[in-house]
Amino acid sequence: MNWWRYYTPKPARAVKGGIKAQSRRGAFATSWWGQRWIKVLESFDIGARLNRGSTYARKGQVMDIEIEKGAVRATVQGSRSRPYEVEVRFRHLTRTQWLQVSKTLAKRFIALAKLLAGEMPEDIEEVFKSVKLSLFPHRLRDLETDCSCPDWSNPCKHTAAVFYLLAEEFDRDPFLLFKLRGLTRDEFFELLGYCPAAALPAPEVNRILESAHEEPPLEPASFWGGEELPGDLFGEVHFPEVTAALPKRLGNFPFWRGQAPFLEALEPFYFKAAPTGMDIYLGLTKPQFEEDNIPAKSQKPVKLSPKVTKTLKGKSRIERRTRGKAPGKKTNKPRK
């Protein structure tokens, strides 16, 4: 009879500040390329380890993730006191292969425009297949996984947890798929002979910026004299139609560690800040600075309970008695 039949699974140790999946239930990814990543993993017939890995990802058992060219390294807390080290290596595409992909993609203007907008075009897989390549892993052996846990299964649940968190990160940055294949976003566009950061020539950019914004004249007397600011200085001021519009446009924070999803945690602060900012702008409320929170000298000192006072006095006596002694050494001098 085999020894593992007597093995009793132990629950994973709780992690404080671990990386939690943004999705609490259902699918992990919202984009088609993130969902495609999950479907590829499910096609490898990994079995129940994927389900256990999804539980680890949602509970925050993954402590750290680093994404490099062609590799992902992570630290995952399991049932033992020492966390496990996980490494996933992807098969690199050569420069020649990337040149073939870029030449084919350059002929598809709509797909190229979507990439420039930060979106993975749906026909990107056809581009890779046309040159007999694959963007996503075609077989399980295209992924080399390693974990320091004693589980012989490969990939294990700790590696599966990293897989699920990668799906959400692909939602935020699809170019990580290129990076794991050996080419960063900037290197890919450089290979195409195009730089997204310099779509227009520098003189043209400067001309547009200068025409759109004129520097106001310097008037020291107005600044130091405290003259009233013009009423239209901030333009038309109104409540935003969408709460937390800027964070929603930026998307989820990479590998968020909060208890609640990033946008859900941030939205209430924006909701409260909008009316407060409007009141300050209209002069209905005085801004609260740190100086306002400093107690005045005329205020009475805070009275402590006898128990707390006794504890503090006892602590001070101990500090005076041990001051100047070397730590960890006892002194047995006779009393005078």
What is the separation of C-alpha 101 from the centre of its chain, rounded to a whole number of angstroms? 30
List the one residue out of 15, 151, 146, 21 whose CA is nearest residue 86: 146
Assess if residue 63 is contained within a domain: yes
Q: What pLDDT score does 324 carry?
A: 45
Has residue 242 been placed in a domain?
no
137 and 283, same domain (yes or no):
no
> Domain containing 84: what range?
9-196
Query: Is residue 249 a part of any domain in this protein?
Result: no
Reduced to 3 states (helix: H, G, I; strand: E, B; else coil), residue 6 is helix
How much of the chain exceeds pLDDT 70, in percent?
63
Q: pLDDT above 90 covers what percent of the chain?
A: 25
Could you give the number of structural domains in the chain? 2
Q: Do residue 133 and residue 267 come from a single domain?
A: no
121 and 270, same structural domain? no
Q: Are residues 267 and 176 in the same domain?
A: no
Q: Is the pTM of this model over 0.85?
A: no
The CA distance from 268 to 331, in Å, is 57
- Return all residues near 139 (Cβ < 8 A) that are at least 6 apart: 44
Would you say residue 300 lies in a domain? Answer: no
Give backbone dihedrals phi and psi of 75, rounded to 5 degrees, phi first.
-120, 125
- Do 144 and 271 lie in one domain? The reply is no
Q: How do residues 234-269 score in pLDDT, each as one tens digit?
A: 667 777 766 666 776 666 666 666 666 667 777 777
Question: Residues 28-78: pLDDT tens digits?
Answer: 888 899 999 999 988 887 777 888 888 899 888 999 999 999 999 999 998
Asked whether the predicted pLDDT for residue 134 surpasses 60, the reply is: yes
Handedness of CA 154, 142, 170, 71 (dihedral sign): positive
